[in-house]
Structure formats: C-alpha cells, structure tokens
Amino acid sequence: MKRKQFSEEQIIGILKEAEAGAVVTELCRRHGMSSATYYAWKAKYGGLEVSDAKRLRALEEENARLKRLLADTMLDNAGLKDLLFKKVVTPAAKRQAVAHLQATLGMSERRACMVVGADRTSMRYRSCRADDGDLRSRLCELAQQRRRFGYRRLHVLLRRDGITINRKKTRRLYREEGLTVRRRKGRKRAVGARAPAPVRALPNQRWSLDFVHDQMATGRRFRILNIVDDVTRECLRAVLDTSISGKRVVRELAELIAKRGAPKMIVSDNGTELTSNAVLAWSGDAGVEWHYIAPGNPTQNGFVESFNGRMRDELLNETLFFTVRQAREILARWVDDYNTERPHSSLGYATPAAFAAELEQQLAGLTPPVASPAHLRDNNGRSLVAAG
C-alpha cells in the first residue's frame, strides 16, 4: 500500500477532532493510519497550532542542514590532518593525495579535490613521458660515487658519458630520485678587501696556502698543507702529516718550485708556521713575494678556503682514516681526481688541468680565443693574444 504523506495542517486537524471527542480508532480507520502514528503525532504536535507546527518543521530542517555541514567540515578536517605532513604541491602529489582521501575516508572525487585544492580535470591526466630508467640508474650511480655533487656537476658527468639532455631534465630527475644534497653549513660571504689580483691570468702567477685539520679513527690528529694555483684552481700539492713546521713548508715549496717554476706571489694567513723565520728567510732568498692577509679575514684567501671546504665536504667528512699511510694514499687519489676529473663551476665546468692546458695553448698562440681573450689579460686591459 502506498504510504500517505500528511501535512502539518492535516495532522493538527486530526488531533483536534480527537480532542473534540472523536474515537481514536475511528479516526485511524477513516484516515488510513495506525494508532501508533496517531500517538506519535500527539506527542510531537499536541497543543500546537498550524503556524507552530510549520515553525517546528523549519527548525528541524535547519538543524539537519547544520548537522550535515558539521559532518562535512569534520570530514574535511580529518582529510587535512591525514595530509598534514605531506608536501602537496605538484599535480602528481595532488593526484596521490586525492586517491588517499578516497581510499581512507571514502570521500568523493569532487570533495577530495576541493579539500586538496586540485582541479578535477588533472585527476584523469596520465603522463606520456618516457620511463628514462637507464638514465635514472646512471644518474643514481654517479650520485652514489660522488655523494656531495649537485645536479650541475652530475649533468657535466652525464654529458661526458655521451648522454645529451637538457640541464632542466637532469634537475627534475635528480629531485625525483631524492638525490638532493643537504648543505652542511652556511655559505660565507666575502667581506673586506681581497689580496691583489695577479698581473696576468696565467698559471704560476699566484699560489695560496692554508692548513686543514682532521683526525683518524684512533683519535690521532693530522694536518694537511694545501697549495692551490689561484688562476687554474689546481691543487699543486697536498701534504699530510701529524706535524708540519715552517721548515717543512719551505722544503715542500722548494720541491714544487723546482718542478713547476716560481710563482709571482704566495698568499697565506698569519699562522705560526707561515710567519716563521724559516719562511721569511726563504721567501727573501727565493725572490717570491709573500702576501699575508688581514687577521680574521679568511675571505681574503678565498681560493684556498673554497678548496678546503670542498676537501672537507667531499673527502674528510666522507672517509674514515685508520693510518697516516692510508690517509696519504686516499688524499693523493682525491687530489688527482680533483685536478683531472672533477668539473669546476668557476671554470665553466672544465677540470683545472684542462683549463691550465688551454691557457698554456693560448699563451703559445696555438688555440687563439674564439670570442675574446678574457683568459689572458693584464691590469691595463691590453690583450696579450690578438683576437681574431
């Protein structure tokens, strides 16, 4: 039997008939309802007028609407809490977030997109990009070998392997594979005057010296004397020992000069080994100008300080040393790799050895500069090699 729908006016009219003396069973039979329905109406609408009943129904509908809004808000809050610690920025991440809300909270696609802030049309997008599995594996392999290299240097290494891709694609794959290198310390900004620039941008014009300290697994400490060519960025010598005196510094410099020739200037800080009588006497006898930076201004010796930072980041912090002999062998391999294999950003991602060879060829006139003789110049702006 089809269920009847009674309005408030009809219900109150039936109740008033009963109040006037009509028999309840007769009313129920005549209007086609049960006695339970009559008593339920009496409990709800007894003593009310039609206007009061309409107002009561409006209040019930408003209450139901507010309950639905509260339930929807609580569901949205639950979804946002699930995504609280997830980075939802890219379209792919938003698609994953929408799928998560649909699976865990039973949300519709429309509501999940509204919570995440995604466009519904992007939920049906399917990527057409190639898998790049071989490229990703090679990138991860290089990143594992060079754990402190960023995507720029890894891009150079990929190009060396014959893989020609855009640098932006290398960056995208680098980030998708989670290979981002975390900085270990803040970058130092240059403050104050620097040491005088070399007269000519050629090898052996200016060397920089500085010490690096570290310790072995046994707790025994050692030092490394680094000698860097400021123009080519080559590490000319890295001397490792438990103690390095001023006489040892002089001996290492004399051996290096006998092999490469004397520089025009040597720059260092004011350490006790580098300001000793042995160093002062040797620099006067050898005719090499020795420039000391201002105390407390390591940025004036920025070339070797930068090299020290790379050495500590890529070698000392990544290696566990047990003996002095082992440390020297590892250091020698790293210095050779730094000079001949590692791309240097300030040299246009060329290696220091290749850059030095190019400068020597330019000096000899074998390979004149293509655009401008920027590498070979003096302080007065006169080109040392004719352009063209």
Interval 315-330 mean pLDDT: 94
Beta bridge partners of 290: 266
Q: CB neighbours (10 Å) of residue 224? A: 23
Q: Is the pLDDT of residue 333 over 90?
A: yes
Q: Is the pLDDT of residue 100 over 70?
A: yes
Does residue 301 or residue 44 have the better pLDDT?
301
pTM above 0.75, yes or no: no
pLDDT at 185: 61
CB 143 within 8 A of CB 178: no
**What is the pLDDT confidence band of residue 367, given thresholds at 50, 70 and 90?**
low
pLDDT at 225: 96
In the chain, what are the domain boundaries?
A: 8-124, 132-177, 206-362
Write out the two tokens for 318: 């990544």
Q: Is the pLDDT of residue 227 over 90?
A: yes
Q: Is the pLDDT of residue 188 over 70?
A: no
Interval 82-107 mean pLDDT: 80
Interval 227-235 mean pLDDT: 94
Q: Which of 50-64, 114-128, 318-332 has the highest mean pLDDT?
A: 318-332
Q: Is the pLDDT of residue 207 over 50?
A: yes
Cα dihedral sign, 154-155-159-162: positive
**Mean pLDDT rounded to a whole number for the chain:** 82
| Separation between Cα atoms, residue 92 and residue 105, nearest integer Å | 20
DSSP 3-state of 324: helix
Q: Is the CATH number of domain 206-362 3.40.50.1360? A: no
Collect all residues with Cβ–Cβ distance below 8 Å to 56 and sequence separation of at least 6.
Answer: 44, 45, 48
pLDDT at 98: 85
pLDDT at 380: 43
| Separation between Cα atoms, residue 362 and residue 368, nearest integer Å | 5
Q: Is the pLDDT of residue 216 over 90?
A: yes
Interval 245-253 mean pLDDT: 95
Instruction: Identify the residue whose tokens are 């090299």.
Output: 307
Residue 271 host element (H or E): none
Q: 106-165 pLDDT, tens per residue?
A: 888 888 888 888 888 888 877 787 888 899 999 999 998 888 888 998 999 999 899 999
State the number of CA atoms in the 13 A half-sphere of 84 facing the CB: 5
